[in-house]
Structure 1
Amino acid sequence: MRDRQFFGYGSLVNRATHSYPGTRPAILGGWRRVWVHTHLRSLAYLSVEPADCEIDGLVAEVPDGDWAALDDRERAYDRHPISTTLHACGSNAEAQVYAVPPSHAALPDVTHPVLLSYIDVVVQGFLDVFGEAGADRFFATTSGWQAPILNDRTAPRYSRHQPLTDWQRGYVDARLTDVSAQVGAA
Structure 2
Amino acid sequence: MNDPYFFGYGSLVNTKSHDYPNPQPATLRGWRRAWVATPRYGVVLLTGVPAPGHRIDGLIAHVPGADWAALDAREGGYARLPASEHVDHALPHQPEIAVYAVAPEDMTDNNSHRILLSYLDVVVQGFHEVYGDSGVRHFFDTTDNWHTPILNDRADPIYPRHQKLTRAQTALVDDNLDRLSAQIQERHEATLPPKF
Pair 1:109–1:25, CA change in 2 (3 A): same
Structure 2 CA distance, aligned partners of 1:179 and 1:129? 22
Q: How far off its partner does 1:38 sit?
A: 1.2
State how 1:112-127 maps to structure 2 within 5 Å: 112-127=113-128
Q: 1:146 and 2:147 equivalent?
A: yes
Deviation at 1:106, TM superposition (A): 2.3
Give the letter aligned to residue 48 of structure 1.
Answer: G
The 5 Å alignment of 1:58-69 reads 58-69=59-70
Q: CA–CA distance in 2 between the matches of 1:57 and 1:89?
A: 13
Distance 1:183 1:84, change over 3 A: farther
Q: Retained in 1: the 8 A contact 2:151–2:184? A: yes
In 1: Cα distance, 2:156 partner to 2:147 partner: 23
Partner of 2:160: 159
Q: TM-score, normalised by structure 2?
A: 0.89
SS in 2 for 1:137: helix
Question: d(CA) in 1 for partners of 2:148 and 2:86?
Answer: 29
Q: After the TM superposition, which parts of structure 1 deviate over 6 Å for at least 4 consecutive aligned residues?
A: none
User: Are 2:44 and 1:44 equivalent residues in the alignment?
Assistant: yes
> Mind listing any 5+ residue stretches in structure 1 that lack a counterpart?
none
Aligned to 1:81: 82
Q: Any idea what SS the aligned residue of 1:173 has?
A: helix
- SS of match in other structure, 1:106: coil
Match of 1:109 among 98, 104, 111: 111
Deviations 1:18-64 (A, max 9, x none): 00001110011100000011112121110011113110001011110
State the Cα distance separating 1:180 from its structure 2 match: 1.5
Identify the residue that residue 172 of structure 1 maps to in structure 2. Answer: 173
Query: Aligned residues: percent identity?
Result: 50
- Counterparts of 1:168 and 1:67, CA distance in 2: 31
SS in 1 for 2:136: helix
Q: Which runs of 5+ in 2 are unaligned?
A: 188-196
Q: How many residues align?
A: 185
CA distance in 2, matches of 1:144, 1:160: 23
Q: Please state how far the C-alpha of 1:65 moved relative to its aligned partner.
A: 0.3
Report the equivalent of 2:71: 70
CA distance 1:4–1:83, change in 2 (3 Å): closer
1:148 Cα offset (Å) = 1.0
Q: Which moved more, 1:15-24 or 1:38-47?
A: 38-47
